[in-house]
Amino acid sequence: MNRIMVVKRRFFLLLVTLSLLFTQAVMAQEAPLTFPGKTNPHNGDDCLVCHTRDGEPGKSNFIKNVCVTCHSAAAVDKQIHLLQGANPASENIAVPEDFPLTNETLDCLTCHAVACKPDRSNKNFLRGGPYKTELDFCYQCHQSQGYQPVNPHDQLRVDGSQDNATCLHCHIKIPTAEDHPTISNAMHLDMTATCNKCHALHQHESNHQGRDLFHSKKAVAARFQETQTRYQIKMPLSEDRKIQCNTCHNPHERGLLSTENVVYEKSSESNAHYLRLSKEKLCYGCHDL
C-alpha cells in the first residue's frame, strides 16, 4: 500500500470505527463501559472516592488509576478509542502538549479533562472543549490534511443499492423492513450528539433545538399538525415532544426509504439541505408569519 492509500484508509477508519464499534457493543450487549453495581461518584459529595485524605481535594492528591476501578479500559479500548498499544509518537499523530500522557501512552485523562463532572454538558468532557464538532476534537491529535470526509448521507451506491456502512454513523443497528419502529429509529446517541459528531450547531438551530412547540407563544401547534396532514408527512419530535434536528431535516438520501416524509419541489431535485419542506413552507409550517 502506498502512502496515500494508507492515509485514506486511516481516515475511513477514523470516521467509521467509532460508530461501528459502538453498534457492536449495543447489539451484542457485551462488555459494559462501567462495571455493574458501581455507584456514580461524579458530581457527588464524596470527594474521597478519587482524592486521598491529605489536604483539600485537588490535582496533587488525586488517586492514580482510579477511573479503571469502575470503568473498563478494555471496553473503552474496544468501543470508544484504541488504548492498548496506541503509539502517541506515531507519524500521523501529534498529541498537544497540554494533553497529559501516562507512561508515554493514552490514559482516560488524556482525553477527559473532567473528572468531577464528566458528562457531555461539561465543556471539558473532551479535553480542550467545547468543540464545534466531535471531529474537531479528533483533529487535536490526528492530522486533518489530506483526509476526505466520509458523507454518511450518501446512502445509495451508483447502482442504486443500499450502502449499509453509512447507517451505523447514526443508527445503533442497520434498520431492516422487519424492525419495530423503536429499533429502526434508535440512534446510539441523542439526536443533537449524533449530528454534532460532524456538524457544528449553528444559530439556525438555537431558536428551535429542544424547544417545546406545545407551550410556545411564538409557534402554533395546530399549524404544525395541519402542515403534516396537508403534505402527508411526519415531522418527528423527540420522545418528550421537543423539536430536534430531524423535525426539519430528513438526513436520508432520496429514494432510500419507502416513506420519505419529504416534499420534493421537483421530481429531479435531490434533497437540498435534506429539508422535509422547502424553507418557506417549513417556516409557515409552524409559524403564522
Site string for ligand HEC, 223-262 (x = CB under 6 A): -x----------xx------x-xxxxxxxx---xx-x-x-
Handedness of CA 180, 181, 184, 189 (dihedral sign): negative
**Among positive and negative, which fits the CA dihedral 4, 6, 7, 8?**
positive
| Residue 99, burial from CB neighbour count under 10 angstroms (0-12, 13-18, 19+) | middle
CA 78 to chain centre: 17
Nearer to ligand HEC, 244 or 267 (CB): 244
Interface with ligand HEC (CB under 6 A), residue from 7, 14, 26, 262:
14
The grid cell for 149 is: 470526509
Task: Select the span of 23-31, 85-93, 262-270 touching ligand HEC (CB under 6 A).
Answer: 85-93
Q: What's the closest the beta carbon of residue 36 comes to ligand HEC, in angstroms? A: 9
At 28, list the grid cell.
Answer: 451484542
| 21 forms part of the interface with ligand HEC (CB under 6 A) | no
Return the residue matching grid coordinates 468543540.
131
Q: Which of 119, 226, 265, 269 binds ligand HEC (CB under 6 A)?
A: 119
18: contact with ligand HEC by CB under 6 A: yes
* CA 35 and chain centroid, separation: 23
Nearer to ligand HEC, 85 or 268 (CB): 85
Of residues 153-182, those binding ligand HEC (CB under 6 A):
153, 155, 162-164, 166-167, 169-171, 175
Is residue 131 a contact point for ligand HEC (CB under 6 A)?
Answer: no
The grid cell for 163 is 450502502
**Which of 7, 8, 17, 262: binder of ligand HEC (CB under 6 A)?**
17
Contact 236, 247 (CB under 8 A): yes
